[in-house]
């Protein structure tokens, strides 16, 4: 297998696109490739030193002549600098705006036909940000200017083609999970820490943006709790955190809801959950669903977007309209009150995660994409 020098740019925060990009880079490094992360801060999950991984921080200093720091330009300059200094073969960017645009600029400044650009679309870069009138045209340009484009689900590929009327070939490579890290017996905290009386435990994990329907999580839990004693752990942080805490007080459930903030090692907590709850208004894939599945945890989640490609309704969990409170309450109670069903669903969830979404098998698809793209360039294809 040929070894590549790959520069990866992503949002370094706890959102799904940044998590996937970081995990991809770590697996590529384990496979012997040289990986350079180029972003404004150390990626959220890049917490330990690892051979073949390097970090390059983008200069975000503010200049008084600008109303806002021009991050996309600073990023493009840093991409080009890293590519030149380290003889990078592939510039792989995650999330279209502004990363794919910066990649286009970096490639334009670089040696002709030397730097491949690959863009991976993750979801809201297409369904929300890309739909803004001020970003629509440049999002389409960034997609069509990339040498190769991937999407994390069939749903997202179809939405991209429909929304941007693009003829660009978009290859679906799903998200993945390290099944040796996310395991049913991988918890490092006891369930009694959160449920001292042995109550069932529901977990929600997200970046607490409006699209995650945080109020829906709490309203569903409130209804379930009225029928059966249980507790809810909220993992993550974001703009909906404070409104959520206020809603807990209004609903009278604050004593049974625990906000843990961002957790770098979510795999240490997920296995103690009885059910994962994710009623998002939109999910292009639903990475946390897959991580829960790998831990043997059933899922009650949204039926909007790409989650249906990951979670089999009635076998691994239950999928509902994001605002179908009655349906989600019924599904949660059905799982919490039936140990055998919950165990069967958990076993099937783990099997699907291992057989269809295991990290090394999915990352090999990216390496194959690099090889095909590199071969096309060497044959004279313009990049």
pLDDT at 112: 67
pLDDT at 364: 96
The answer to whether domain 5-176+358-378 and domain 191-356 are alike in fold is yes
Q: Does domain 191-356 have CATH number 3.40.50.300?
A: no
pLDDT at 1: 63
pLDDT at 377: 46
- Tokens 């720091």 map to which residue? 69
pTM surpassing 0.85? yes
Instruction: Give, in order, the Cα–Cα distances in Å from 348 to each of 165, 239, 298, 300, 356.
Output: 38, 35, 9, 14, 12
pLDDT at 111: 75
Domain boundaries, the chain: 5-176+358-378, 191-356
pLDDT at 263: 87
Instruction: Give, in order, the Cα–Cα distances in Å from 37 to each of 11, 75, 88, 92.
Output: 10, 12, 11, 10
Element counts in the chain: helices (H) and strands (E): 12, 13
Burial category of 30 from C-beta neighbours within 10 Å (exposed 0-12, middle 13-18, buried 19 and up): middle
pLDDT at 44: 77
pLDDT along the chain (383 residues), means of 10: 90 82 95 96 82 93 70 93 95 93 92 86 75 83 94 94 91 96 95 95 96 97 97 96 97 97 91 98 93 98 95 97 97 97 98 97 96 67 32
In whole angstroms, what is the distance from residue 26 CA to residue 23 CA?
5
Domain 5-176+358-378, second-level architecture: 3-Layer(aba) Sandwich (3.40)
pLDDT at 380: 34
């Amino acid at each position: 297998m040929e070894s590549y020098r790959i520069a990866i740019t992503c949002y370094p925060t706890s959102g799904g696109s940044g998590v996937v990009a970081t995990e991809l880079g770590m697996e590529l490094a384990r496979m012997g490739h040289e990986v350079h992360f180029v972003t404004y801060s150390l990626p959220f999950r890049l917490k330990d030193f690892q051979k073949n991984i390097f970090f390059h921080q983008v200069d975000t200093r503010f200049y008084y002549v600008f109303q806002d720091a021009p991050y996309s330009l600073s990023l493009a300059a840093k991409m080009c600098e890293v590519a030149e200094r380290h003889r990078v073969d592939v510039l792989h960017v995650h999330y279209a705006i502004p990363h794919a645009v910066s990649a286009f600029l970096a490639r334009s400044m670089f040696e002709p036909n030397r730097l491949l650009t690959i863009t991976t679309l993750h979801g809201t870069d297409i369904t929300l940000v890309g739909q803004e009138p001020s970003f629509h045209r440049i999002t389409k340009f960034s997609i069509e200017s990339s040498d190769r484009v991937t999407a994390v689900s069939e749903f997202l590929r179809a939405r991209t083609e429909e929304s941007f009327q693009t003829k660009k070939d978009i290859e679906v490579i799903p998200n993945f999970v390290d099944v040796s890290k996310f395991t049913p017996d991988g918890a490092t905290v006891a369930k009694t820490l959160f449920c001292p009386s042995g109550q069932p435990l529901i977990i929600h994990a997200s970046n607490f943006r409006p699209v995650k329907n945080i109020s829906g999580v709490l309203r569903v839990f409130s209804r379930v709790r009225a029928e059966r004693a249980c507790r809810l752990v909220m993992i993550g942080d974001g703009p909906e955190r404070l409104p959520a805490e206020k809603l807990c007080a209004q609903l009278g459930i604050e004593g049974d809801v625990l906000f843990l903030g961002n957790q770098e090692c979510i795999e240490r907590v997920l296995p103690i959950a009885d059910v994962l709850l994710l009623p998002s208004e939109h999910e292009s894939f639903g990475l946390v669903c897959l991580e829960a599945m790998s831990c043997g945890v059933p899922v009650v989640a949204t039926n909007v977007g790409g989650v249906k490609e990951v979670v089999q309704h009635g076998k691994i969990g239950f999928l509902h309209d994001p605002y179908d409170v009655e349906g989600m309450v019924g599904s949660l109670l059905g799982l919490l009150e039936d140990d055998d069903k919950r165990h069967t669903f958990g076993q099937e969830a783990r099997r699907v995660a291992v057989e269809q979404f295991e990290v090394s098998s999915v990352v090999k698809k990216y390496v194959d994409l690099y090889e095909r793209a590199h071969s096309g360039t060497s044959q004279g294809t313009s990049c």
